[in-house]
């Protein structure tokens, strides 16, 4: 893949879409659902014993005790 071509195209896409949009002054619409169910009744948590096994099965790197092994982030 030619990354510099993708980058150039991205810049052009942004410029053209932004110009096509123009300016407006209105309130923003974040989510269309007006009545967001922010709170819900507490219930007993459901535990699926298979989930942990299935999740670990697809982990790229893990140790014998069942922990993920991940490289330290370059920002640390």
Choice between 21 and 76, CB closer to another protein:
21
Q: Does the protein bind another protein through residue 55 (CB under 8 A)?
A: yes
Of 68, 71, 48, the C-alpha closest to 57 is 68
CA distance 58 to 52: 10
Q: Does the protein bind another protein through residue 75 (CB under 8 A)?
A: no
Of 55, 76, 75, the C-alpha closest to 67 is 55
Q: Does the protein bind another protein through residue 57 (CB under 8 A)?
A: yes
Choice between 35 and 64, CB closer to another protein:
35
Query: Binding string to another protein for residues 4 to 43, with x set by CB under 8 A, is what?
Result: --xx-xx--xx-xxx-xxxxxxxxxxxxxx-xxxx-x--x
CA of residue 28 relative to chain centroid, distance: 21
CA distance 40 to 47: 19
Report in angstroms how near the CB of residue 38 gets to another protein at its nearest: 7
């Amino acid at each position: 893949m030619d990354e510099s071509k993708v980058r150039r195209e991205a810049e052009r896409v942004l410029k053209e879409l932004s110009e096509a949009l123009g300016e407006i002054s209105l309130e923003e619409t974040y989510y269309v659902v007006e009545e967001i169910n922010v709170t819900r009744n507490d219930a007993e948590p459901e535990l699926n014993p298979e989930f942990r096994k299935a999740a670990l099965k697809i982990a790229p790197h893990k140790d014998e005790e069942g922990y993920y092994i991940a490289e330290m982030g370059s920002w640390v």
